[in-house]
């Protein structure tokens, strides 16, 4: 502490404000880290977990729409209408393929989801091949009885398995999203707690620095002012305590004592 007493008052003030600014920077860095942590948790939640739920539900809806489209093709008699419905089925199938590829990329670390996605891809490939190579050509040829047998038979069994796998994926992605929400909430609470702790520590340190500066600068000046007031009241023998500090405060105390001694000598001489 003696080294701090001996540095200049300007240096003390610069040091005090520098420390306070450093703590302010720490608080700012803590706030940035907390915000970044919360943003990352939310990004993962929306770009991965919620995206999986949305994509698999859209895939499920498109599968049902394609199934209904195939049944509708069996009822249509105009080639142009059959082809239009067939194009819509293919478009939905392409959308499903893109959604599932995106899910596979996002679920590289989830073995169960990845296994189900691979199974779904295999079933969809078999389902699509039969649709394009057997069912659709039979419908275009007017052989609706044979096409109906395939749609309700082998294709119906594959569709049931596709639905079962898709339903399982929906359940898994919803559970994963719920776990992601809980994880994001935990990370947000942890980041907020750490920010509060950093802020409280910085505030306490700033208060301690303010108290230290008050003790080193304001308290001695107040003591000198009180002694000056007592001397003005006639107590010319009082003196402020002079320490070993070599800063401006120490110099002021020494000069004040010399002034008081000189004043006392003159008063006593006048008597």
Give per-residue pLDDT as tens, 203-212: 888 788 778 7
Q: What's 108-162 look like in SS3?
A: CCCHHHHHHHHHHHHHHHHHHHHHHHHHHHHHHCCCHHHHHHHHHCHHHHHHHHH
pLDDT at 242: 63
Token pair in block for residue 80: 């142009």
Torsion of CA 131, 137, 138, 139, to 10 degrees: 90
Q: Is the pTM of this model over 0.85?
A: no
| C-alpha closest to that of 148 among 221, 79, 71, 228 | 71
Residues 6+ apart with CB under 8 A from 185: none
- SS3 (DSSP) at 246: coil
What average pLDDT does range 116-123 have in this prediction? Answer: 92
Tokens representing 60 are 């499920």
Confidence of residue 3 (pLDDT cuts 50, 70, 90): low
> What does the pLDDT average to over 179-184?
79
Average predicted confidence (pLDDT) for the chain? 83
In this structure, the number of other CB atoms found within 10 A of the CB of residue 185 comes to: 13
pLDDT tier at 136 (50, 70, 90 boundaries)? very high
| Residues 6 or more apart whose Cβ sits within 8 Å of residue 119 | 165
In angstroms, the CA 157 to CA 206 distance is 73
At 109, list the tokens: 């670390």
pLDDT tens sequence across 69-88: 999 999 998 999 999 999 99
């Amino acid at each position: 502490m003696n080294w701090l007493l001996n540095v200049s008052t300007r240096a003390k003030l610069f040091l005090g404000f520098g420390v306070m600014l450093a703590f302010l920077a720490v608080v700012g860095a803590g706030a940035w880290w907390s915000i970044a942590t919360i943003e990352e948790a939310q990004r993962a939640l929306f770009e991965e977990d919620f995206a999986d739920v949305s994509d698999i539900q859209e895939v499920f809806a498109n599968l049902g729409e394609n199934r209904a489209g195939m049944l509708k093709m069996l009822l249509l008699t105009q080639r142009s209408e059959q082809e239009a419905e067939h194009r819509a089925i293919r478009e939905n199938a392409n959308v499903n393929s893109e959604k599932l590829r995106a899910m596979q990329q996002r679920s590289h670390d989830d073995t169960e989801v990845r296994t189900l996605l691979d199974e779904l891809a295999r079933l969809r490939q078999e389902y699509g091949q039969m649709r394009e190579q057997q069912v659709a050509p039979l419908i275009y040829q007017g052989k609706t009885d044979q096409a109906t047998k395939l749609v309700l038979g082998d294709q119906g069994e594959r569709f049931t398995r596709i639905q079962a796998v898709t339903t399982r994926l929906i359940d898994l992605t919803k559970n994963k999203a719920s776990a992601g929400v809980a994880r994001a909430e935990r990370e947000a609470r942890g980041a907020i707690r750490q920010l509060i702790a950093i802020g409280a520590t910085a505030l306490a340190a700033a208060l301690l620095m303010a108290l230290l500066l008050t003790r080193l600068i304001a308290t001695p000046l107040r003591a000198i002012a009180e002694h000056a007031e007592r001397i003005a009241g006639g107590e010319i023998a009082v003196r402020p305590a002079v320490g070993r500090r070599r800063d401006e405060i120490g110099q002021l105390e020494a000069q004040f004592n010399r002034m008081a001694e000189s004043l006392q000598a003159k008063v006593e001489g006048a008597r």
